[in-house]
């Protein structure tokens, strides 16, 4: 079980959205994390726009420590430590967001906000497959609950 | 340099949003997806908050002539639903359901010391690089 946190989640969502607005306002780009990350991976096509993307990702990496300094409470996480499970998950997420041109931020937040049909269909699809996958793992196989 | 500072600050705001919202905790994500089990609807509020502000904010921002650091706004223009979009979203959903990480939270988890992220993150980079090679 995890606690239902509607207020913190809503405020967190507003912050994510505000960040996406900063990216559009300053750089004129969609704040899609898989896209930003992918741009930094090979094959490389020039150095244009690399600096702000690297800085953006470093900002995400250090943010939990800023959260801990400001609030004084640790960031709690529960992550599977099964090697095969997590490698498989990572491959699927990387491959899927790569050929699907977006993830939760690019399609789910920015795309839906633009009322993009592609992003709406992509979001419904990954939500549905996420739900089906968790259902199979937890309720049919009965694995990690 | 200014671009880097603004980028860094935007990343911090994004990451704080992930942490505060609970999105950076795979257990919370998996419970959100577990609608027939230990369902935690919190992430609906994350999406709602983010979409609300971006929907309103994009309208205002896109009225401007150009972004601060670039000549044009680069907004995706494709409208067709192709095989890659659906196939990719399906794969992403499966991976999300297995590990509870999507790309943003995976990045915010890099230095948080879990064992799982050590396996997940490089695998995700391999997957992204593969598709970039395929698409090229």
C-beta of residue B26 within 8 angstroms of C-beta of residue B6: no
Say which of A2, A8, A128 has its CB closest to residue B21. Answer: A8
User: Binning pLDDT at 50, 70 and 90, where does residue A145 land?
Assistant: very low
Query: Is B84's pLDDT higher than 70?
Result: yes
* Residues B85, A21: C-beta atoms closer than 8 Å: no
- Section A51-63 average pLDDT: 98
CB contact under 8 A, A15 and B7: no
Mean pLDDT score of chain B, rounded to an integer?
97
d(CA A30, CA A125): 20
Can the peptide bond before residue B46 be classed as cis, meaning omega within 30 degrees of 0? no
Contact between A63 and B45 using a beta-carbon 8 Å cutoff? no
Looking at chain B, which residue has its C-alpha nearest residue A67? Answer: B16
Q: Looking at the complex, does the CB of residue A135 fall below 8 Å from at least one CB of chain B? A: yes
With an 8 Å Cβ cutoff, are A2 and B103 in contact?
A: no
What is the band of B110 on the pLDDT scale with cuts at 50, 70, 90?
A: very high
For residue A117, the Cα-to-chain-centroid distance in whole angstroms is: 20
Contact A92 B91 (CB under 8 A): yes
Please tell me the predicted confidence (pLDDT) of residue A129: 98
Q: Give the ipTM of the model, two decimals please.
A: 0.97
Does position A80 have pLDDT exceeding 50, yes or no? yes
What is the average per-residue pLDDT within A99-109? Answer: 97
Q: How far apart are CA B106 and CA A64, in angstroms?
A: 12
User: Which ranges constitute the DSSP H helices of B22-113?
Assistant: 26-33, 42-61, 83-99, 103-108
Cα within 13 Å of Cα(B89), Cβ side: 22
What's the pLDDT at B71? 96
User: Are the Cβ atoms of A28 and B72 closer than 8 angstroms?
Assistant: yes
Mean pLDDT of chain A: 95
Closest CA to A90 of B133, B26, B19: B26
Mean pLDDT of B6-19: 98
Evaluate whether A66 touches B8 at the Cβ level (below 8 Å): no
pLDDT at residue B90 greater than cutoff 70 = yes
Over residues B84-104, mean pLDDT:
98
Report pLDDT for A87: 98
Q: Indicate the residue of B6, B35, B88 with minimum beta-carbon distance to A96.
A: B88
Task: Say which range, A41-45, B51-55, B129-133, has the weakest mean pLDDT.
Answer: A41-45
Q: pLDDT tens for residues B33-42?
A: 999 999 999 9
pLDDT higher than 60, residue A143:
no
How close is the nearest chain B Cα to the Cα of A127, in Å?
Answer: 6
Which residues from chain A sit within 8 angstroms of residue B54, using beta carbons? Answer: 17, 20-21, 109-110, 113
Q: How far is B122 from chain A (nearest CA, A)?
A: 7
Confidence at B17, pLDDT banded by 50, 70, 90? very high
């Amino acid at each position: 079980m995890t606690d239902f946190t509607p207020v913190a989640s809503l405020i967190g969502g507003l912050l994510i959205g505000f960040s996406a607005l900063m990216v559009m306002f300053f750089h004129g780009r969609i704040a899609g994390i898989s896209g930003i990350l992918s741009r930094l991976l090979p094959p490389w096509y020039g150095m244009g726009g690399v600096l702000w993307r690297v800085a953006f990702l470093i900002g995400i990496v250090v943010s939990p420590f800023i959260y801990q300094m400001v609030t004084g409470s640790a960031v709690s996480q529960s992550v599977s430590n099964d090697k095969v499970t997590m490698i498989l998950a990572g491959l699927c997420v990387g491959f899927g967001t790569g050929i699907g041109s977006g993830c939760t931020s690019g399609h789910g937040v920015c795309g839906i906000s633009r009322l993009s049909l592609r992003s709406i269909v992509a979001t419904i699809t990954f939500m549905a497959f996420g739900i089906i996958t968790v259902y199979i793992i937890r309720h049919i196989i009965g694995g990690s609950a | 340099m200014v671009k880097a500072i603004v980028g860094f600050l935007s990343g911090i705001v994004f990451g704080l949003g992930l942490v505060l919202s609970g999105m950076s905790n795979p257990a919370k994500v998996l419970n959100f997806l577990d609608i027939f089990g230990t369902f935690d609807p919190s992430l609906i509020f994350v999406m709602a908050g983010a979409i609300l502000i971006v929907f309103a904010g994009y309208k205002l921002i896109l009225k401007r002539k150009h972004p601060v650091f670039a000549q044009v706004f680069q907004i995706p223009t494709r409208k067709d639903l192709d095989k890659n979009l659906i196939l990719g979203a399906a794969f992403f959903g499966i991976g999300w359901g297995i590990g509870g990480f999507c790309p943003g939270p995976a990045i915010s988890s890099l230095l948080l010391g879990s064992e799982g992220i050590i396996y997940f993150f490089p695998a995700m980079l391999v997957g992204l690089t593969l598709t970039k090679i395929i698409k090229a």
